[in-house]
Amino acid sequence: MPDDEPLRAILERLERKIDGLAQEHPRTGILRGAREIAGYLRCHERTVRRWGTRYRLPMAHQPDGKLITTSALIDAWILERREKQYSRPLGKGRKTYPER
């Protein structure tokens, strides 16, 4: 279908980005602290904290107050959010998703 072309392009870019993150971060274990999580996601530490409260980024607080998660949990969270975002119906009058 011609309407699916922009959506496919977006999904392919996201998949390439996820694959690139996995290759650049060979350690697939535990990520400790907002700085390390932010480095894995390539964003700011405040963004990690905001995503934790606003979008339920899977992470927990250690007894010393540091955040902790795994790269596998983050990858699964990204894929789940992507599926939710692109499985919802298009808005009224929209034929395709906007290019980002």
Check: CB of residue 45 under 8 Å from CB of residue 9. Answer: no
Of residues 81, 9, 6, 11, the one with CA closest to residue 41: 81
Query: What Cα–Cα distance (Å) separates residue 12 from each residue in 7, 15, 18, 30, 88?
Result: 9, 5, 10, 27, 18
Instruction: Give the span between the Cα atoms of 15 and 11, in whole angstroms.
Output: 6
> Whole-prediction pTM value?
0.60
Check: CB of residue 97 under 8 Å from CB of residue 6. Answer: yes
Mention every residue, 6+ apart, whose C-beta is less than 8 A from residue 88: none
Domain boundaries, the chain: 2-87
For the cut 70, the answer to whether the pLDDT of residue 49 exceeds it is: yes
CATH code assigned to 2-87? 1.10.1660
Instruction: List, for residues 51-95, the tens digit of each pLDDT value.
Output: 999 999 999 998 888 999 998 899 999 988 888 877 766 556 555
